[in-house]
Amino acid sequence: MALFQKKSFFGNLSQKIGDAIMGRPAIDEELMEELEEILITSDIGMETTMKIIGQLREDIKKNYISTPEGVKDQLQKIMTGLVDKGERHGMSDQYPLVILIIGVNGGGKTTSIGKLAHQYRQRGHSVLLAAADTFRAAASEQLEEWGRRSGVSVIRHQEGADPSAVIYDAIQSAKARKVDVLICDTAGRLQNKKNLMVELEKMNKVIDREYPDASRETLLVLDATTGKNAVSQAKEFGDIAELTGIVLTKLDGTAKGGIVITIADEFDMAVKFIGVGEKIEDLKAFDPEGFVGGIFNE
Q: What is the mean pLDDT of residues 216-233?
A: 89
**Per-residue b or e along 257-288, where b marks 16 or more CB atoms closer than 10 Å to that residue's CB:** bbbbbbbbbbeebbbbbbbbbeebebbbebbb
- Give the residue numbers spanning the domain of 228: 87-296
Q: What is the mean pLDDT of residues 194-201?
A: 84
Residue 286 near residue 91 (C-beta atoms within 8 A): no
- φ, ψ at 267 (rounded to 5°): -110, 5
Residue 273 DSSP label: E
Q: Is 297 in a helix, a strand, or coil?
A: coil
Question: Which among 259, 104, 128, 234 is positioned nearest to 184, based on CA atoms?
Answer: 128
- Given a cut of 50, whether residue 7 has pLDDT beyond it is no
> pLDDT at position 69, please?
85
Beta-carbon count within 10 A of 15 CB? 12
Residue 253 DSSP label: T
Per-residue pLDDT tens digits for 236-251: 888 888 999 999 998 8
> pLDDT at position 86, please?
95
Q: Does any domain span residue 29?
A: no
- Given a cut of 80, whether residue 252 has pLDDT beyond it is no
Beta-carbon count within 10 A of 291 CB? 26
> Within the chain, where are the H helices?
9-21, 29-40, 46-62, 68-83, 109-122, 139-150, 163-177, 193-210, 228-240, 259-266, 288-296
Per-residue pLDDT tens digits for 151-192: 999 999 988 899 999 999 999 999 999 999 999 999 876 445
- Given a cut of 70, whether residue 4 has pLDDT beyond it is no
CA 102, 103, 109, 112 torsion-angle sign: negative
pTM score, whole prediction: 0.89
- Given a cut of 70, whether residue 71 has pLDDT beyond it is yes
CA-CA-CA-CA torsion for 116, 120, 126, 128, nearest 10 degrees?
A: -10
Q: Does any domain span residue 152?
A: yes
Q: Does any domain span residue 102?
A: yes
Distance CA 44, CA 55 (A): 15
Q: Does any domain span residue 264?
A: yes
Q: Structurally, how many domains does the chain consist of?
A: 1
CA-CA-CA-CA torsion for 120, 124, 125, 129, nearest 10 degrees?
A: 50
Q: Does any domain span residue 113?
A: yes
Distance CA 248, CA 259 (A): 9
- Cβ neighbours of residue 152 under 8 Å, at least 6 residues apart? 117, 121, 127, 128, 129
Q: Does any domain span residue 193?
A: yes
Q: Does any domain span residue 34?
A: no
- Given a cut of 50, whether residue 145 has pLDDT beyond it is yes
Distance CA 110, CA 116 (A): 10
Q: What is the mean pLDDT of residues 27-45?
A: 89
> pLDDT at position 136, please?
81
> pLDDT at position 119, please?
96
- Given a cut of 80, whether residue 1 has pLDDT beyond it is no
CA distances to 5, 156, 239, 255, 275 from 251, rounded to whole Å, are 10, 30, 25, 5, 6
- Given a cut of 60, whether residue 64 has pLDDT beyond it is yes
Q: What is the mean pLDDT of residues 130-152?
A: 91
Q: Does any domain span residue 65?
A: no
Assign 298 a pLDDT band (cuts: 50, 70, 90).
low
User: What CATH number does residue 290 fall under?
Assistant: 3.40.50.300
> pLDDT at position 236, please?
85
